Amino acid sequence: MGNIKLGSLLIGVSDLHKARTFYEKVFGMNTVEFRPPFMQANLNGIEFNIEEDAEYRSKDWSKNNIGGRKVFSFYVDDIFEFLNEARTNGATVVEEPKKEPWGWYDAVIADPDGNEFVISQEIKS
Protein backbone atom coordinates (compact mmCIF):
# COMPACT_ATOMS: atom_id res chain seq x y z
CA MET A 1 0.00 0.00 0.00
CA GLY A 2 2.94 2.34 0.45
CA ASN A 3 3.62 5.08 2.94
CA ILE A 4 0.60 7.16 3.99
CA LYS A 5 0.80 10.29 6.11
CA LEU A 6 -1.53 13.10 7.03
CA GLY A 7 -1.35 15.90 4.45
CA SER A 8 -3.16 18.78 6.09
CA LEU A 9 -6.22 19.76 8.07
CA LEU A 10 -8.64 22.30 6.59
CA ILE A 11 -10.54 24.84 8.68
CA GLY A 12 -13.12 27.22 7.20
CA VAL A 13 -13.35 30.74 8.65
CA SER A 14 -15.17 33.97 7.87
CA ASP A 15 -12.35 36.42 8.71
CA LEU A 16 -8.85 35.22 7.87
CA HIS A 17 -7.08 38.09 9.66
CA LYS A 18 -8.94 37.40 12.91
CA ALA A 19 -8.33 33.67 12.46
CA ARG A 20 -4.59 34.19 11.99
CA THR A 21 -4.34 36.02 15.30
CA PHE A 22 -6.43 33.36 17.05
CA TYR A 23 -4.53 30.32 15.76
CA GLU A 24 -1.12 31.89 16.35
CA LYS A 25 -1.94 32.99 19.90
CA VAL A 26 -4.11 30.13 21.14
CA PHE A 27 -2.42 27.14 19.53
CA GLY A 28 1.01 28.62 18.79
CA MET A 29 0.75 27.84 15.09
CA ASN A 30 3.42 29.28 12.83
CA THR A 31 2.10 31.01 9.73
CA VAL A 32 3.93 29.63 6.72
CA GLU A 33 1.95 31.50 4.05
CA PHE A 34 -0.65 34.23 4.36
CA ARG A 35 -2.34 34.94 1.04
CA PRO A 36 -6.02 35.77 1.62
CA PRO A 37 -8.33 33.99 1.27
CA PHE A 38 -5.80 31.27 2.16
CA MET A 39 -3.42 30.73 5.05
CA GLN A 40 -1.08 27.84 5.65
CA ALA A 41 0.07 27.27 9.21
CA ASN A 42 2.20 24.64 10.88
CA LEU A 43 2.05 23.14 14.36
CA ASN A 44 4.76 20.65 15.22
CA GLY A 45 4.98 19.35 11.66
CA ILE A 46 1.22 19.22 11.03
CA GLU A 47 -0.06 21.48 8.26
CA PHE A 48 -3.26 23.46 8.65
CA ASN A 49 -4.93 25.20 5.74
CA ILE A 50 -7.23 27.92 7.02
CA GLU A 51 -9.48 29.49 4.41
CA GLU A 52 -12.30 31.93 3.78
CA ASP A 53 -14.82 31.47 0.98
CA ALA A 54 -13.11 31.67 -2.39
CA GLU A 55 -14.26 31.38 -5.99
CA TYR A 56 -12.05 28.34 -6.54
CA ARG A 57 -14.06 26.41 -3.89
CA SER A 58 -17.51 24.96 -4.42
CA LYS A 59 -20.48 27.24 -3.78
CA ASP A 60 -21.04 27.93 -0.08
CA TRP A 61 -18.03 25.79 0.84
CA SER A 62 -17.25 27.68 4.01
CA LYS A 63 -20.85 27.63 5.21
CA ASN A 64 -20.59 23.86 5.33
CA ASN A 65 -17.29 23.93 7.16
CA ILE A 66 -17.54 26.84 9.59
CA GLY A 67 -18.68 26.09 13.08
CA GLY A 68 -19.34 22.82 14.82
CA ARG A 69 -17.00 20.32 16.38
CA LYS A 70 -13.95 19.31 14.38
CA VAL A 71 -12.96 15.69 14.42
CA PHE A 72 -9.45 16.23 15.75
CA SER A 73 -8.12 17.13 19.15
CA PHE A 74 -5.11 18.88 20.58
CA TYR A 75 -3.10 17.26 23.38
CA VAL A 76 -1.74 19.59 26.05
CA ASP A 77 0.39 19.09 29.17
CA ASP A 78 -1.81 21.17 31.50
CA ILE A 79 -5.39 21.58 30.34
CA PHE A 80 -6.30 24.11 33.03
CA GLU A 81 -3.35 26.39 32.22
CA PHE A 82 -4.03 26.03 28.49
CA LEU A 83 -7.69 27.00 28.90
CA ASN A 84 -6.81 30.07 30.98
CA GLU A 85 -4.40 31.27 28.28
CA ALA A 86 -6.85 30.37 25.50
CA ARG A 87 -9.60 32.46 27.14
CA THR A 88 -7.20 35.40 27.37
CA ASN A 89 -6.51 35.06 23.64
CA GLY A 90 -10.11 34.98 22.47
CA ALA A 91 -11.19 31.35 22.77
CA THR A 92 -14.61 30.45 24.10
CA VAL A 93 -14.64 27.48 26.43
CA VAL A 94 -17.62 25.43 25.29
CA GLU A 95 -17.10 22.53 27.71
CA GLU A 96 -15.00 22.72 30.86
CA PRO A 97 -12.56 19.86 31.50
CA LYS A 98 -14.10 16.62 32.63
CA LYS A 99 -12.46 13.34 33.53
CA GLU A 100 -13.27 10.77 30.88
CA PRO A 101 -13.48 6.99 31.45
CA TRP A 102 -10.45 6.43 29.20
CA GLY A 103 -8.15 8.31 31.60
CA TRP A 104 -7.99 11.77 30.04
CA TYR A 105 -9.39 15.20 30.78
CA ASP A 106 -11.29 16.56 27.77
CA ALA A 107 -12.55 20.09 27.22
CA VAL A 108 -13.87 21.89 24.15
CA ILE A 109 -12.98 25.38 22.94
CA ALA A 110 -14.25 27.41 20.00
CA ASP A 111 -12.58 29.94 17.71
CA PRO A 112 -14.33 33.22 16.78
CA ASP A 113 -16.28 31.40 14.02
CA GLY A 114 -17.58 28.70 16.35
CA ASN A 115 -15.21 26.00 15.10
CA GLU A 116 -14.89 23.68 18.09
CA PHE A 117 -11.79 21.72 19.07
CA VAL A 118 -11.31 19.06 21.71
CA ILE A 119 -8.48 19.80 24.11
CA SER A 120 -7.13 16.71 25.92
CA GLN A 121 -4.72 15.99 28.73
CA GLU A 122 -3.69 12.52 29.82
CA ILE A 123 -4.21 11.92 33.53
CA LYS A 124 -0.96 10.48 34.86
CA SER A 125 -1.37 7.91 37.60
111 domain-assigned: yes
Domain that residue 74 falls in: 9-122
Question: Tens digit of pLDDT for each residue in 19-65?
Answer: 999 999 999 999 999 999 999 999 999 999 999 877 777 766 656 66
2 domain-assigned: no
4 domain-assigned: no
Question: Tens digit of pLDDT for each residue in 62-104?
Answer: 566 667 777 678 999 999 999 999 999 999 999 999 999 989 9
Residue 68 sits in a domain whose CATH number is 3.10.180.10
Q: Structurally, how many domains does the chain consist of? A: 1
Q: Is there a contact between 11 and 115 (Cβ–Cβ < 8 Å)?
A: yes
Predicted local distance difference test score (pLDDT) of residue 52: 87
- In whole angstroms, what is the distance from residue 12 CA to residue 53 CA? 8
1 domain-assigned: no
